[in-house]
């Protein structure tokens, strides 16, 4: 479980690094702090091209965060099918999608009031 003294900025940066290390794409950060009754402060959403890449992205995030902050996600779901993996770091929830699943659920539109930051990936 993420400790309370973990800085969200540090955790966000390491999650993004984990995604970029295995060429995850379409990275978006949804800032939910100004929205009432949210379950966390941020959503990080990204896409992979296959179930293998989706699993690799989730594994990379866990490895980078664990190495640098000695933190593990509180809960992880979806590793079996590799279409949508949810990683709960308590204050930050990461969604790793295959592109077609991401388009279907369109989480960004459900949180239209959130400030969305898009991360450019140049690979």
Query: Which domains does the chain show, CATH number per domain?
Result: 8-119 (3.30.460.10)
The encoded tokens of residue 52 equal 């293998």
Q: Is the confidence at residue 122, as pLDDT, over 80?
A: no
- Identify the pLDDT of residue 6: 62
Give the residue with greater pLDDT, 7 vs 14: 14
The rounded distance, in Å, linking the Cα atoms of 7 and 52 is 30
Q: Is the confidence at residue 69, as pLDDT, over 80?
A: yes
Q: Are strands 92-98 and 42-48 parallel, antiparallel or unpaired?
A: parallel
- Identify the pLDDT of residue 123: 73
> What length is written for the chain?
123
One-character DSSP codes across 8-67 = HHHHHHHHHHHHHHTT-EEEEEEE-TTSTT-SSSEEEEEEESSHHHHHHHHHHHHHHHHH
pTM: 0.91
């Amino acid at each position: 479980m993420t400790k309370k003294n973990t800085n969200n900025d540090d955790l966000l940066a390491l999650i993004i690094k984990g995604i970029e290390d295995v060429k995850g794409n379409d990275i978006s950060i949804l800032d939910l702090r100004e929205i009432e009754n949210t379950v966390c402060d941020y959503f990080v959403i990204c896409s992979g091209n296959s179930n293998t890449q989706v699993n690799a992205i989730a594994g990379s995030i866990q490895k980078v965060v664990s190495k640098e902050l000695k933190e593990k996600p509180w809960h992880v779901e979806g590793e079996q099918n590799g279409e949508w993996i949810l990683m709960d770091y308590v204050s930050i929830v990461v969604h790793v999608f295959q592109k077609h699943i991401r388009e279907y659920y369109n989480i960004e539109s459900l949180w239209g009031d959130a400030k969305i930051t898009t991360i450019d990936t140049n690979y």
